[in-house]
A = this chain, B = another copy of it.
Amino acid sequence: MEDAADALAGTSTTVAGRIALAIHEHRIAPGAKLGEDDLGEIFGVSRTVVRTALQRLAHDRLVTIQRNRGAFVAQPGLREAREVFEARALLEPRTARSAAQRMTPDSIALLQAHITAEHDALDQGDPGRALRLSGLFHIEIARIADQATIFGFITQLVAQSSLIIALYWQRRTALCESHAHHALIRALADGDGDQAEELMKGHLLDLVSSLDLRPKATPPINLRDALT
């Protein structure tokens, strides 16, 4: 439906989708320069289409464009990080409730397949892929809820979360234990909207608490920001 979601799904073949995929799987670090000529050469297209892709990604807050300086992988600050999860806390629990009322056997199977794929990725030692699939799980719930507008917002927020996790995850804690996702599936499959909403709310709180969002917790990546 939307290319931003396709990027997280890994099914997008567009330039924007392929860049986004690399960002989501943490193969490009926040702050990295995204030169137009470089990308054009890598993908075998002209700067025109690269620019279009970068502008799309900038609108999704995955990329920052500075006039006459170029595009960089975004580095969400602490404030933005908190805001993203506050927005998720506002949107996703209610969306999970809606989804619970719209579950079909296919939907259940789809969500379970996602968890399985996430496990497989972890077993194969590909944490980047596992992380991406974990975000995709949230997006699929939003898709099931069948509200395109909110689905778009959640897609963007999950994508931003990927960057935030790259920057602020304290590796001491387990990220997105699949336990929470399993419990969510159960509530959704039962059509128990109340519990789904509650579980999602708790799950998002767990997610935030697995991050280190204390002031000045992150090493300065951008020299200018750090030294001026």
Q: Which residues of A contact B (CB under 8 A)?
A: 51-52, 55-56, 59, 79-80, 83-84, 86-87, 90-91, 94, 147-150, 153, 157
Contact = CB atoms under 8 A, between A and B. Distances in A.
Contact of A149 (B52, B80, B150): B80
A80 B1 CA distance: 14
A52 B51 CA distance: 9
Contacts of A79: 148
B149 A87 contact: yes
Given A51-B52, A84-B149, 16 more contacts: A55-B56, A56-B59, A79-B148, A83-B148, A83-B149, A83-B150, A86-B149, A86-B150, A87-B149, A87-B150, A90-B90, A90-B91, A90-B94, A90-B150, A149-B157, A153-B153
A148 B90 contact: no
A59 to B, nearest CB: 5
Nearest to A98: B86
Contacts of A87: 147, 149-150, 153
Contacts of A80: 148-149
Contacts of A153: 87, 153
28 contacts: A51-B52, A52-B55, A55-B55, A55-B56, A56-B59, A59-B59, A79-B148, A80-B148, A80-B149, A83-B147, A83-B148, A83-B149, A83-B150, A84-B149, A86-B147, A86-B149, A86-B150, A87-B147, A87-B149, A87-B150, A87-B153, A90-B90, A90-B91, A90-B94, A90-B150, A91-B91, A149-B157, A153-B153
Contacts of A52: 51, 55
Contacts of A94: 90
A149 B153 CA distance: 10
Contacts of A147: 83, 86-87
